[in-house]
Amino acid sequence: MQREASSRFFAGRLEAVQHALNAAFAEAIARAQAKGLITPHHDPLALAVFIQAYTMGRVLGDLDTEPLDAAAWNALIGDVLDALVRPRR
């Protein structure tokens, strides 16, 4: 019973921190969109969560018995972000 209460407390705290992080990223992205630095084509919150997701997802490549090549990952992410956020002209 105490473990369940502790888990609920931790989950609540984690949700609050994650919400604040999402909001801060989304706000920064929205400001960049307003200045024309990032395409306004994507929702700021969706882009904020995507950026965090690929960053955390990188760990999956490290957990493999044959770790992912960092240069290959970085090249892929660079191309994806370039396509997602570059202002369209």
Residue 23's Cα: distance from chain center in Å? 12
Residue 13's Cα: distance from chain center in Å? 19
B/e letters for 50-65, b = 16+ CB within 10 Å, e = fewer, are bbeeeeeeeeeeeeee
Structural domain span for residue 72: 2-85
pLDDT tens digits for range 31-75? 999 999 999 999 999 999 999 998 888 888 888 888 889 899 999
Neighbours of 77 (CB within 10 A): 15
pLDDT (0 to 100) of residue 61: 83
Whole-angstrom Cα distance, residue 59 to residue 10?
A: 22
pLDDT at position 6 over 80: no
| Number of domain units in the chain | 1
pLDDT (0 to 100) of residue 40: 92
